[in-house]
Structures are given as C-alpha cells and as structure tokens.
Structure 1
Amino acid sequence: MGYREQLEDLIAENQGLIFTKEVERKGIPRHYLTLLMREGKLERVANGTYVTSDALEDEMYILQVKRQRVIFSHETALNLYDLTDRIPLEWSVTVPYGYNGTNLRKSGIQVYTVKRSHYLMGVTEAETIFGRKIKTYNKERTICDIARNRHNMDVAVLNEAIRRYSRSSEKNIPQLLRYAKELGVQKIVRNYMEMFL
C-alpha cells in the first residue's frame, strides 16, 4: 500500500480529521498532505490540523478541533441530549478560568468559565448530527450548570429540561446530587427534582 492510500485510510479512520504529527508517526511524508490540499480533498483548519471537505460542514466538530479545551455545555448540551425542544441561537461552551475566550465570544459563542477543579467534572462524548464525537458534559453536570445559570435563562427551558431528565430511564440521581453539592447548587437541584419526581 502506497503512502497516499495509507493517508486516505488514516483520514477515514479519524472521521475526516488528520494531524501532521499522526502522519509523521506513521512514516508518511508530509508532502501527501499538501497533495490532498491541492486536490481540494483536505483543508487546513489549524496549525498541523487538516479536515476533509465533508467534515467542514460539521461546525461543532471543527470548533472543537480548533479549540480543544472547549466543552459544549448549558443549552447546547441540553439540545444534544434532547432535554429541550429549543435549538440554541448560539452555542454554549465551557472553558477553564484563565482561558482567553474573546475570539469565541466575537464569533457569537456563549462562553462560560469554571474553576479548573470543576472543568473536567462530568465530561463525556456526544455525537453531532453528522455522527462525529465531540466533548460535552453529561446530563447530570448539564442540569447543575443550568441550575447555576437559572437567573440568566428562560425558566421554562430549565423546568422542561429537569422534567425530561427526571422522566429519563438513564438518569443518575446520586451522581446529580454529588455534582450539585460540588457546584454549590444542591438545594436548588433538590427543590427542582422534588417537583418532578
């Protein structure tokens, strides 16, 4: 198998994403990345990061490829988990304190910051509508996040999300309460859960 075929197989395995360091690790000359770019089969989206044209349509995936510390959260996570019928007007992401989110905000993304000790709590993977994996918070963390942000959002969204979560067969109440305690919203989450359980 030639270098080109190896590279195309590697790109397919990675769902249309390829990093220069991966190509080098496999012993494929970088020149083949340039060839595929000239043919319009690859596009450079960040330093050392390339995607296929079909992957470019998946904007959530591309955002996370470019900004790997971004975790989809709040209303965006509610939508990914079908805990709301509303499609968010802007994506919501969470980053650790100290991360410069200015460019994200300029591009119309709602940016939340959290303590580094809370940043990775409840991180999991979900799929975009194109079937690619992205990092998001799990349902329990998402419920806690929207409870923390309840004064800055439509209360109907919060109520609907908690109602749907409480009826879900996949809920994990002990984990929800652990997260709520850690994030300082235990009383609020308990009150909401008591209304719907």
Structure 2
Amino acid sequence: MNYREMLDSLIAQHEGIILTKDVTEAGIPRTYLSSLVKEDILERVAHGVYLSRDAFDDELYSLQTRSSRLIYSHETALYLHDFTDRDPLQWVGTVPSGYNSTHLKNEGVKVYTVKKVLHKLGATTGQTEFGRKINLYDKERTICDIIRSRNKMDSNLINETIRRYVGRKDKNIPLLLRYAEQFRVQKILRNYLEILL
C-alpha cells in the first residue's frame, strides 16, 4: 500500500476528519495532506485539522483536537447529557487556571477556568452527535458547575436539569454530594434537592 492509499484509508477510518498528528503517527509524510488540499479533496479547517469534502464538520471534535485541555461543561455538557432540549447558543468549556484560552474565545467558545487541582475532577469521555469522542464532565460535576454559575444562568434551566437528574436511573447522589462539598455548593444543592425530592 502506498502513502496515498494509506492516507485515504486513514481518512475513511476517521470519518472524514483527519489530524496532522494522525498522519504523522501513521508514518505518512505531511506533504500528502498538502497534495489533497491542492486537489480540493481535503479542506484545512484549522491548524492541524483537515476535513474531507464529503464529511460533516464536527465542530465539538474539531475544537477538542486543537485544545486538549478543554473539557466541555455547563450548557454544552447539559445538552450532551440530555438534560435539556435547548441547543446551546455557543459551546462552553472549562480549562485549568493559567491556560491561554484566547484561541477558544476567538472561535466563540465561552470559557470557564478552574483551579488545576479541580480541572480533571469528574472528567469523562462522551460523543458528539457524529459519534466522535470528546472530553466532557460527568452529570454530577455538570450539576455542580451550573449551581456554581447560577447567577449567570437561567434558573429554569437549573431546575429542569436537577428534576431530570433526580428522575434518572443512572444518577449517583453520593458522588454528586461529594463534588458539591469540594466545590462548596452543598447547602445550595441540598435546597434544590429538598424541593424536588
């Protein structure tokens, strides 16, 4: 198999989104990416990210590939966990304190920062609507995040989220309470839970 065939196979495996690092790891010279861009087979959508002409631009995945420390949170995580029927007006993510998030803000991402020690707490993997893996916070961490940011959020959204969470079979109340303690929102969370339980 020659390099061109290897690259075509790699593009097919990745459902039309290919990263420069994937090409390098496969031992394919990067010049083949440039050739496919010139032939109008691939489009460079961001630094190190290429999209085939027949593929859907998976914006969440594309942002994630360019910013490995980004963890989707707040409204975006609510949407991905099916806690809301509202499509997010903008993508929302959290990065550790000190991380330069200018490029994310320039792309319209709402960015929260958190202490480095809390950044990975509750981090898990999920899927975009196109089935690609991304990093996001689990359900319990997401609830703590929206309670921490309650003054910047729609109170109906918070109530709807907690109501849906309480009704789910996969809820983990002890974990939720542990997170709430770490983020110092346990009293506020208990108030919401008492009203809804």
**TM-score of the pair, normalised by structure 2:** 0.89
**Alignment partners' CA distance in 1, 2:170 and 2:54:** 32
| Inter-CA distance 181–55: structure 2 relative to 1 (3 Å threshold) | farther
Matches within 5 A, 1:1-197: 1-55=1-55, 57-197=57-197
| Inter-CA distance 43–88: structure 2 relative to 1 (3 Å threshold) | same
Contact 2:77 2:137 in 1 (8 A): yes
Shift of 1:55: 4.8
DSSP-derived class of the 1:64 partner: helix
Deviates more, 1:94-103 or 1:172-181: 94-103
Deviations 1:44-99 (A, max 9, x none): 34444433345552212212122222211101111111111222222211111112
Q: Which segments of 5 or more consecutive residues in structure 1 lack a partner in the other structure?
A: none
**Consecutive aligned runs of 4 or more in structure 1 exceeding 6 Å deviation:** none
Shift of 1:136: 1.0
| Inter-CA distance 117–54: structure 2 relative to 1 (3 Å threshold) | farther
**Alignment partners' CA distance in 2, 1:77 and 1:179:** 16
Deviations 1:153-183 (A, max 9, x none): 1111000000000101111111111111111
Contact 2:51 2:57 in 1 (8 A): no
Partner letter of residue 160 of structure 2?
Answer: E
| Inter-CA distance 87–38: structure 2 relative to 1 (3 Å threshold) | same
Contact 1:126 1:136 in 2 (8 A): yes
**Alignment partners' CA distance in 1, 2:89 and 2:72:** 14
**Alignment partners' CA distance in 1, 2:3 and 2:103:** 37
**Alignment partners' CA distance in 2, 1:54 and 1:76:** 26
Contact 2:49 2:62 in 1 (8 A): no
Q: CA RMSD in A?
A: 2.0
Q: Which segments of 5 or more consecutive residues in structure 2 lack a partner in the other structure?
A: none
**Alignment partners' CA distance in 2, 1:175 and 1:98:** 28
**Alignment partners' CA distance in 1, 2:149 and 2:8:** 44
**TM-score of the pair, normalised by structure 1:** 0.89
